[in-house]
Amino acid sequence: MTEPDFPALRQSMLAEIAAKTIFSSARLGKAALDPRVMNAMAKVPRHEFVLLELRPYAYADTPLPSGFDKTISQPFIVAVMTDLLDLRPTDTVLEIGTGLGYQTAILAELAQHVYSIEIIEELAVQARQRLAREGYANVEIKIGNGCGGWPEHAPFDKVIVTAAAELIPPPLIYQLKPGGKMVIPAGLPDDQQLILVEKDANDAVSTREILPVRFSLLEDAEPD
């Protein structure tokens, strides 16, 4: 697998995402994702955000191990979660769970600034290196437990969580701006749903289940 192979593989990944979107249209409420999201997926080199030995599989529509019993999410799920946020170029985004930085890079393509929290120091260091190498200057990463959010930079226009909690952490709802949106997997380990959380102009919060998913648990949500 060499560098010239990757653009064609990325196009195949986009075609698979488009096909799965059509298949899931009843749940998603649409048959195609926002072109801006698809353009970001087309631009970000996923092979730069996976472990070296997994590069041949970088554009397969499947989760891949990222070390420390964590995974980099399936591209279709990355695209759907990003689409649900309805990102604007002026948005400030909070991401919980940086991993190796792939979802972070997608967000950075579409938003003004991304604040990302990663609990595993080694992953945070790698993500910083990978994002810097790709030229993303609008990302700030800190090491810590994401369940408490990042109060110093709140409120956020959008929040995205890439690990599952049984219940949505209240600080993340509190740190969401009126008119904001959050996407988070939540529920019991065998019954997780991707949830869209919306806060209206009066701070009233509503939730909607989108798709059944399976994510690793937020560290704070893991059983003793």
Residue numbers annotated as active site? 73
Helix (H, G, I), strand (E, B) or coil at 84: helix
User: Cα–Cα distance between 56 and 53 in angstroms, integer?
Assistant: 8
User: Cα–Cα distance between 110 and 107 in angstroms, integer?
Assistant: 5
User: Cα–Cα distance between 106 and 80 in angstroms, integer?
Assistant: 12
User: Cα–Cα distance between 84 and 170 in angstroms, integer?
Assistant: 20
User: Cα–Cα distance between 66 and 104 in angstroms, integer?
Assistant: 14
User: Cα–Cα distance between 149 and 127 in angstroms, integer?
Assistant: 19
